């Protein structure tokens, strides 16, 4: 709302009353300004009480709903898992965290430049995490086999592998001697079977079987790599008519599915639309050859966008080729708060210039229909655009796509200035981390 405030100025020695509009100016972010926070009790400074509270502790219940204390059952489970010294370290680390900062300023980012806030402890990362020892119930007294124990178990597994594949009765003394020497080593197939069966760890009840342990090496041959008893399954030729999906009966996306690994459901969920379509003519020595030009845009509605071009004689075939080309060319588009762009960006292709500007929540997409469709396909909800010069449709789409890819995210600005990420976001985004 505009508030009019009278202002007086002197012109030619006479006093003339003048009105000028006083416009409320603020940055485009959702954090409240300082004057809006002065009367808010949630933003008041919480001081430490004198009785029973240290200098660095806060006598407040901030975060009591989202960050609750441990229950007796949880404390008992932690005591079984950690030593008393580790528990004290955990409590000291949690006490050092400012709950007010977590409640009021901590924001979990989901945009392209997000940080790795949480780790999925149910999955192992081979570079950082230690390998899993074995699958099954935890054995507190497990240990790695010694060289003597592993040698003894390997010899036992080798002899069992030799007995599984006996040779025919020897007819000469040389064959009998070779079979006797085979029991002590020299059979490559039996050696591979012994390597695949020898355990790694020793438990309370003896060696832990390989089926319950984690192999640190690359997977070898299967256990039954020499068995010829498997019945051969006849390979049936797939009939295209039986496997055809009713949504794609002609198999337009079959090649795209094989090359990209996408499913037909994912392809159908993409927002794909033809933005530019016109007739073109190519002059050759045989005369004028007319064809159709199409430009399509494709996006998943969650930060990915691509454009594709195609020419052809048939309208339907050209349309499919342009859509497939747009799906192949999809690239990630940076989004601030998953709704708008970072700052203001410009793009220029030939004589067409496009300027894109970020806008606050609820502003909407106030731009021409070509940029509107591109923003909606990329998942951008608040955007303003200007096209001051040429309005050529093809160049406008390409310039807008170029501008979206030219955004500078806060991480890049921080690295360029040699500062921390929080400094950049404090300046441009009011401290929201």
Q: Taking the mean position of all CA atoms in its chain, how far away is CA 194?
A: 42
Q: Where are the beta strands (DSSP E) in 73-156?
A: 143-144
CATH number for region 254-332: 3.30.160.20
What token pair was written down for 80? 């079984």
Write down the pLDDT at residue 208: 80
SS3 of 415, please?
helix
Contacts of 406 (CB under 8 A, 6+ apart): 345, 346, 347
Query: How many CB atoms are closer than 10 A to CB 84?
Result: 8
SS3 of 393, please?
helix
Residue 143 β-bridge partners? 202
Backbone dihedral region for residue 241 (phi beyond 0: left; psi -120 to 50: alpha; all else: beta): alpha
pLDDT in tens, 321-369: 999 999 999 999 999 888 999 989 999 999 999 999 999 999 999 999 9
Report the CATH fold assignment for 344-428.
Answer: Ribosomal Protein S5; domain 2 (3.30.230)
CA dist 354 and 389 (Å) reads: 8
DSSP 8-state symbol, 272: E
SS3 of 249, please?
coil
CA dist 430 and 433 (Å) reads: 9
SS3 of 59, please?
coil
Write down the pLDDT at residue 411: 80
Domain boundaries, the chain: 3-43, 130-243, 254-332, 344-428
Cα distances from 247 to residues 264, 265, 267, in angstroms, run 9, 10, 11
What token pair was written down for 35? 């004057």
Residue count (the chain):
433
CA dist 380 and 297 (Å) reads: 14
Query: How many CB atoms are closer than 10 A to CB 98?
Result: 14
Residue 274 β-bridge partners? 296
Burial of 289 (0-12, 13-18, 19+ CB in 10 A): exposed
Query: How many CB atoms are closer than 10 A to CB 175?
Result: 13
Write down the pLDDT at residue 80: 87
Cβ atoms 394, 295 nearer than 8 A = yes
Closest CA to 65 of 118, 117, 103, 95: 103
Give phi and psi for 40, each to the nearest 5: -90, 120
Contacts of 323 (CB under 8 A, 6+ apart): 272, 274, 296, 298, 308
| Maximal C-alpha separation, the chain | 134
Q: pLDDT 10s per residue in the chain (433 long)? A: 444 444 344 344 444 444 445 545 545 555 555 555 555 555 444 443 434 434 434 334 445 566 678 888 988 888 888 888 888 888 888 888 777 776 666 566 666 666 666 666 666 666 666 555 555 666 777 788 888 888 888 888 888 888 777 777 777 887 777 777 777 777 778 888 888 888 888 888 888 877 766 555 544 445 454 444 555 555 444 444 456 788 888 889 999 999 888 999 999 999 999 999 999 999 999 899 999 999 999 999 999 999 999 999 999 999 999 999 999 999 999 998 889 999 899 999 999 999 999 999 999 999 999 999 999 999 999 999 999 999 999 999 999 999 999 998 888 887 888 877 665 555 555 544 3
Write down the pLDDT at residue 9: 40
Closest CA to 297 of 264, 335, 330, 269: 330
What token pair was written down for 423? 């400094």
């Amino acid at each position: 709302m505009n508030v009019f405030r009278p202002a007086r100025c002197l012109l030619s020695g006479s006093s003339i009353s003048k009105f000028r509009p006083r416009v409320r100016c603020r940055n485009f972010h959702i954090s409240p300004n300082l004057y809006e926070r002065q009367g808010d009790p949630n933003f008041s400074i919480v001081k430490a009480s004198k009785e029973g509270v240290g200098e660095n502790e806060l006598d407040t219940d901030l975060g009591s709903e989202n960050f609750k204390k441990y229950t007796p059952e949880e404390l008992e489970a932690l005591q079984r898992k950690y030593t008393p010294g580790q528990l004290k370290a955990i409590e000291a680390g949690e006490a050092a965290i400012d709950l007010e900062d977590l409640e009021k300023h901590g924001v979990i980012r989901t945009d392209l430049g997000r940080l790795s806030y949480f780790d999925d402890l149910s999955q192992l990362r081979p570079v950082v995490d230690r390998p899993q020892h074995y699958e099954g119930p935890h054995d507190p007294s497990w240990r790695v086999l010694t060289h003597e124990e592993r040698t003894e178990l390997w010899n036992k597994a080798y002899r069992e592998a030799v007995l599984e594949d006996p040779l025919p009765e020897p007819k000469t003394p040389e064959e009998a001697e070779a079979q006797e020497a085979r029991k002590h080593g020299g059979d490559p197939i039996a050696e591979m079977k012994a390597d695949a069966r020898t355990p790694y760890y020793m438990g309370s009840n003896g060696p832990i079987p390989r089926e319950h342990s984690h192999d640190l090496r690359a997977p070898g041959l299967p256990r039954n790599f020499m068995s010829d008893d498997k019945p051969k399954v006849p390979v049936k030729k797939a009939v295209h008519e039986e496997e055809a999906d009713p949504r794609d009966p002609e198999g337009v996306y079959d090649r795209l599915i094989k090359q990209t690994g996408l499913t037909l459901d994912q392809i159908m969920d993409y927002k794909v639309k033809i933005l530019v379509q016109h007739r073109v003519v190519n002059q050759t020595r045989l005369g004028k050859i007319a064809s159709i030009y199409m430009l399509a845009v494709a996006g998943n509605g969650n930060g990915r966008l691509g454009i594709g071009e195609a020419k052809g004689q048939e309208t339907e075939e050209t349309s499919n080729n342009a859509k497939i080309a747009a799906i192949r060319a999809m690239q990630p588009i940076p989004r601030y708060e998953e709704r708008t762009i970072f700052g203001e960006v410009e793009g220029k292709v030939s004589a067409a210039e496009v300027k894109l500007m970020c806008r606050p929540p609820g502003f909407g997409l106030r731009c021409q229909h070509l940029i509107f469709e591109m923003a909606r396909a990329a998942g951008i909800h608040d955007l303003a655009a200007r096209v001051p010069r040429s309005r050529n449709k093809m160049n406008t789409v390409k310039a807008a796509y170029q501008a979206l890819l030219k955004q500078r995210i806060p991480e890049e600005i921080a690295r360029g200035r040699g500062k921390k990420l929080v400094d950049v976001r404090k300046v441009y985004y009011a401290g929201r981390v």
